[in-house]
């Protein structure tokens, strides 16, 4: 998975994807290696979403300061 794909995802889509990853990890159908890969994907997605949320927070702060 490329980084640009993760950066293009919306915040809502990102949270949906995280929930999907969690469901897969919690199921007994996923092996240890697959769980580790899902975990790494989830960590990368959380980092991307944190950046997006920081951007939104910055924009909200800017709007509040301009009022």
Segments making up each domain of the chain, as ranges: 11-65
pTM higher than the cut 0.85: no
Note the pLDDT of residue 6.
Answer: 61
C-alpha–C-alpha distance, residues 32 and 12, integer Å: 28
Note the pLDDT of residue 4.
Answer: 46
Taking only the tens place, the pLDDT of each residue in 6-54 is 678 999 999 999 999 999 999 988 999 999 999 999 999 999 999 999 9
Note the pLDDT of residue 42.
Answer: 97
Is the pLDDT at 2 greater than 60? The verdict is no
Provide the H-helix boundaries in 2-31. 3-8, 11-26
Is the Cβ–Cβ distance between 6 and 48 less than 8 Å?
yes
């Amino acid at each position: 998975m490329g980084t640009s794909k993760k950066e293009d995802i919306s915040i809502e889509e990102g949270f949906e994807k995280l929930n999907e990853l969690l469901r897969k990890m919690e199921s007994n159908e996923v092996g240890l290696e697959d769980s580790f890969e899902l975990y790494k994907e989830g960590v990368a997605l959380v980092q991307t979403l944190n950046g997006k949320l920081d951007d939104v927070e910055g924009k909200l702060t800017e709007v509040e300061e301009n009022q």
